[in-house]
Amino acid sequence: MSARKQARNHGGRPRDSRVDDAIASAVQELLAEVGYMGLTMAEVAARAGVGKAAIYRRHATKQEMIFDVLLPDQFLAVAPDHGSLSADLAAVLAEIADSMTTPPQGTIPGLLADIHADPALRDRFDRKYLEAQRRTLTEILDRAAARGELTTRPDPAALNALLVGPVFAWLFLLSESPEQLPVLTSALLDAALALTSSGPSGAAVQAGAP
Amino acid sequence: MSARKQARNHGGRPRDSRVDDAIASAVQELLAEVGYMGLTMAEVAARAGVGKAAIYRRHATKQEMIFDVLLPDQFLAVAPDHGSLSADLAAVLAEIADSMTTPPQGTIPGLLADIHADPALRDRFDRKYLEAQRRTLTEILDRAAARGELTTRPDPAALNALLVGPVFAWLFLLSESPEQLPVLTSALLDAALALTSSGPSGAAVQAGAP
Amino acid sequence: MSARKQARNHGGRPRDSRVDDAIASAVQELLAEVGYMGLTMAEVAARAGVGKAAIYRRHATKQEMIFDVLLPDQFLAVAPDHGSLSADLAAVLAEIADSMTTPPQGTIPGLLADIHADPALRDRFDRKYLEAQRRTLTEILDRAAARGELTTRPDPAALNALLVGPVFAWLFLLSESPEQLPVLTSALLDAALALTSSGPSGAAVQAGAP
Amino acid sequence: MSARKQARNHGGRPRDSRVDDAIASAVQELLAEVGYMGLTMAEVAARAGVGKAAIYRRHATKQEMIFDVLLPDQFLAVAPDHGSLSADLAAVLAEIADSMTTPPQGTIPGLLADIHADPALRDRFDRKYLEAQRRTLTEILDRAAARGELTTRPDPAALNALLVGPVFAWLFLLSESPEQLPVLTSALLDAALALTSSGPSGAAVQAGAP
DNA sequence: AGCTAAGCGAGACGGTACGTCAAGTCTTCAG
DNA sequence: CTGAAGACTTGACGTACCGTCTCGCTTAGCT
């Protein structure tokens, strides 16, 4: 996935997959030790017991390297049927929370900034994540519609933002403790479900016109 | 607010306030032109027609400078009574959306990363923003309670995350267009209000046990 | 002489001449310790207690730095009258020998290679050295002609090559000991004077046609 | 001559002599195109249609490779009797001039620098060239002495330096045109012969004491 | 009015990381 | 074992930026 172009399986020494692993491990360790900004390519190379050239052969820039290492290839790729809309959304929410709490502390904001700074990275992020996420949510909504659980069908992007955003905000904007995440997620689930059972701003209209 | 220590009112030439303005303008312009990562102190100084020392006399680091320039001193500081919980939340939401769309494109993620990288900046962010935000939300909830609009009182942090998170996600995680923000905010308002009128996980329980 | 452009004596912090000296000393020391090829900019900077940028502000490349440091500004610039052609030539020869034995062992061949590899350096070498050398030799020949010491006026370039070449060859092609240089120079002086007192290839003609 | 160790004539595939030629040609071409410093092993291999390993199997280092390719195996090895000292020296001079003008422009200074930087190369240079050169010059002087052409027998090293040095200087120190070399060599021959017919510093003494 | 401390633009300074590139070694597959 | 291909480690290069310091000058405000 990170390989720029896997050499035509003809001549030449093949890439050593142990090098990929060593780089990934070194990045993970160093991110945990020195943080996102403190990470240097020289240190990654040294820690991995690898030359800098071997890194740049795999990742065009430091930012791409971190991106490749931190972001797992599968993300919200599967949407197993849990039997109800509520259970499906809870599963999605759990996976979102997981993907934001597993990387070393403080790397997500750095990564996000780099993604916004580099169009190439942004494209890759889009194709790798957002697409899968959109697909999964659509599937879940389709199933719920088939079950007759939906009064109204919410905008997929809005639902996506509603699920991902608060978790991100809890962790990185409000700096609330990850352990207290359940406080958020249970409330969040209610809120999300509310979107599926009432008119598309009905509450607001009612509340705004007493 | 940005002055590190206003000179002992004794002798010496006073700070030139035109310098502060020139720096702020240069930062704004350059952020728009070259992006967050492309900003250099030398260029800011040159654009502002100012020496680098004059900048560092006012801001301890590059990150602090951007922080000082981008973040307005007032943010959610006031919570005028709009007559109903729904209207109050709508106002808050509007202010949040505004604060995230006015800075030059792509600066918010960079700023957030820097805030997470520097404890000093994080402290300032906390005191300047989160505190005011918490206070404002509490006030609004108090008023709503007094009006009898609350069935249950939601966790303030969760409500905060629910309001701020989706807007942030819409703009910076999903890269949806700022013009389409109303699509999100109207749905979001419904969802937020849902938290105030039903049991703390009632919907989930009901949906989970048909 | 090495300064690229001495800042208009207007604003800005002036160059610190101690930095120039520190660089020159470091280069000299390191050339003696690790040789021409073993010299690295990082080590020069470290030894001089100076940032690399300070070096590159003064010298465009590593090669130029060595050139600037090794080649004294004055070389064969003066041609004091020693009273006779022979004495003048002996003085020139002594200065040539001196300029080739004072730099750290083995730096001259490296420097010469770099001069041939870089047109810019070649130009500077030309203007700085060859010109002065030509001028000086011409002067000496003029004086000798005025004294009536010249039967024939030799080609200046040929005389130049005849004086410089053997010393260079002795030291760097044949690797003979510098202490034995007098063995060469005394013979060389005879040979050079021979060019001034006989017809232009007269000896060859005589020898070739006995 | 260039092979490091010819494989034990035991089993295995024999060296392909076409590879040697391809390497030599590639080096010659590339030296002419990109110069001494611009030459890279990767490019040599590519141009020769050969793997880098095949080069290193034949030459221990880049410097040795160039040395092996540029320096012909025979150099001043033979000293055919031309009938007179003058003619013999003229022949030697011609061969010297030839050996310095045939390699691609500017490679000689680079090669010389490398020889001084690497003791192993220096040894090979010594044994391959200087020895043969000394032997040849001694032979010529012996013949001249037998013919009675020598008033005094000059130091062989000094004579060597006197012959080689000016040619080198003309081409690589003064950057005079190779076409004009005859201007130098004719004068040079006179000067060299002067050493053989007068006292070892007689002219200098005479000139110095009028 | 003069003194003085601080401000000011300019830019050199030490330091540190980046990404590139070359040398020489090693590893695969094919013959 | 030779050969081509190319990945590997090592380490220098030259660039860029940060935050500090130094220069010569200007500008208030206290005495």
Number of domains in chain B: 2
Q: Are residues B116 and B179 in the same domain?
A: yes
> Which of D116, D188, D198 is closest, CB to CB, to C172?
D116
Answer whether A119's CB lies under 8 Å from B175's CB: no
Q: Are residues A45 and A100 in the same domain?
A: no
Averaged pLDDT for residues A189-201? 77
pLDDT value of position B39: 98
Q: Are residues C111 and C22 in the same domain?
A: no
Distance CA A160, CA D151 (A): 105
Whether A40 sits with its Cβ under 7 A from any strand E atom: the answer reads yes
Tokens 């700022």 belong to residue: B178
User: B150 — phi, psi (to 5°)?
Assistant: -105, 120
Secondary structure class of D207 (helix, strand, coil): helix
Rounded mean pLDDT of chain B? 88
The residue range of the domain holding B142 is: 85-199
Q: In this complex, do A161 and B175 lie within 8 Å of one another by their Cβ atoms?
A: no
Q: Are residues C56 and C90 in the same domain?
A: no
Q: What is the CATH number of the domain that holds A35?
A: 1.10.10.60
Strands (E), chain A: none
Q: For B148, left (φ over 0), alpha (ψ -120 to 50), or beta?
A: left
Q: Are residues D180 and D132 in the same domain?
A: yes
**Dihedral of the alpha carbons of C185, C187, C192, C198, in degrees to the nearest 10:** 170
Whether B144 has a pLDDT exceeding 70, the answer reads: yes
Question: Which nucleotide's C1' sits nearest to the alpha carbon of C7?
Answer: E11
Is residue C10 in a domain?
Answer: no
pLDDT value of position A196: 86
Is residue B178 in a domain?
Answer: yes
Q: Are residues A105 and A161 in the same domain?
A: yes
Tokens 């923003």 belong to residue: B129
DSSP string, chain B: ---SS---SSSSPPP-HHHHHHHHHHHHHHHHHHTTTT--HHHHHHHHT--HHHHHHH-SSHHHHHHHHHS-S-SS------SSHHHHHHHHHHHHHHHHHSSPTTHHHHHHHHHHH-HHHHHHHIIIIIHHHHHHHHHHHHHHHHHT--SS---HHHHHHHHHHHHHIIIIIS---GGGHHHHHHHHHHHHHHHHHS-TTHHHHHHH--
Q: Which tens digit of pLDDT belongs to each residue from B74-101? A: 666 667 899 999 999 999 999 999 999 9
Answer whether C67's CB lies under 8 Å from C126's CB: no
Distance CA C188, CA B44 (A): 65
What type of residue is D52?
Answer: K
Nearest to A180 by CA among C196, C131, B157, D15: B157
Q: Are residues D58 and D103 in the same domain?
A: no
Whether A51 sits with its Cβ under 7 A from any strand F atom: the answer reads yes
At B17, the pLDDT band (50, 70, 90 cuts) reads: very high
Better-predicted residue by pLDDT, B200 or A61: A61
Q: Are residues C36 and C107 in the same domain?
A: no
The interaxial angle of helices A85-101 and A131-147, nearest 10 deg, is 160
DSSP string, B183-203: HHHHHHHHHHHHHHHS-TTHH
Q: What is the CATH number of the domain that holds C100?
A: 1.10.357.10
User: Beta-carbon neighbour count of residue C93 at 10 Å?
Assistant: 21
Is residue A76 in a domain?
Answer: no
pLDDT value of position A10: 64
In residues, how long is chain C?
A: 210
Q: What is the CATH number of the domain that holds B95?
A: 1.10.357
Distance CA B50, CA A84 (A): 63
Q: Are residues C121 and C181 in the same domain?
A: yes
Q: Which tens digit of pLDDT belongs to each residue from C114-127? A: 999 999 999 999 99
Q: In this complex, do D191 and C189 lie within 8 Å of one another by their Cβ atoms?
A: no
Is residue C56 in a domain?
Answer: yes
Which residue, D37, D69, D101, sits at the end of a domain?
Answer: D69
Nearest to D190 by CA among D61, D93, D72: D93
Which residue of C lies nearest to D133 if distances are taken between CA atoms? C174
Is residue D210 in a domain?
Answer: no
Whether A174 has a pLDDT exceeding 80, the answer reads: yes
At D39, the pLDDT band (50, 70, 90 cuts) reads: very high
Distance CA D203, CA C92 (A): 17
At D206, the pLDDT band (50, 70, 90 cuts) reads: very low
Q: Are residues C95 and C158 in the same domain?
A: yes
Secondary structure class of D120 (helix, strand, coil): helix
Answer whether B65's CB lies under 8 Å from B23's CB: yes
Q: In this complex, do C117 and D155 lie within 8 Å of one another by their Cβ atoms?
A: no
Is residue B6 in a domain?
Answer: no
Answer whether A140's CB lies under 8 Å from A79's CB: yes
Q: In this complex, do B158 and A184 lie within 8 Å of one another by their Cβ atoms?
A: yes
Better-predicted residue by pLDDT, C171 or D198: C171
Distance CA C39, CA C106 (A): 12
Is residue D80 in a domain?
Answer: no
What type of residue is D95?
Answer: E
Whether A208 has a pLDDT exceeding 90, the answer reads: no
Nearest to C163 by CA among C116, C107, C115, C95: C95
Q: Are residues C53 and C94 in the same domain?
A: no
Return the structure tokens found at B171.
């703009």
Q: Which tens digit of pLDDT belongs to each residue from A71-108? A: 877 666 667 899 999 999 999 999 999 999 999 988 99
Is residue D142 in a domain?
Answer: yes
Return the partners of chain C (3 or more C-beta pairs < 8 Å): D
Nucleotides of F under 7 A from a protein CB: 1-24, 26-30
The interaxial angle of helices B131-147 and B85-101, nearest 10 deg, is 160
Rounded mean pLDDT of chain C? 88
Q: Are residues A98 and A50 in the same domain?
A: no
Distance CA B28, CA A91 (A): 42
User: B39 — phi, psi (to 5°)?
Assistant: -75, 130
Q: Which tens digit of pLDDT belongs to each residue from B30-55? A: 999 999 999 999 999 999 999 999 99
Nearest CA distance, B21 vs chain A (angstrom): 26
pLDDT value of position D198: 62
Q: Which tens digit of pLDDT belongs to each residue from D135-194? A: 999 999 999 999 999 988 999 999 999 999 999 999 999 999 999 999 999 999 999 998
Averaged pLDDT for residues C191-199? 80
In window 55-84 of B, residues with CB < 7 A from nucleic chain E are: 57
> Which of C86, C158, C172 is closest, CB to CB, to D112?
C172
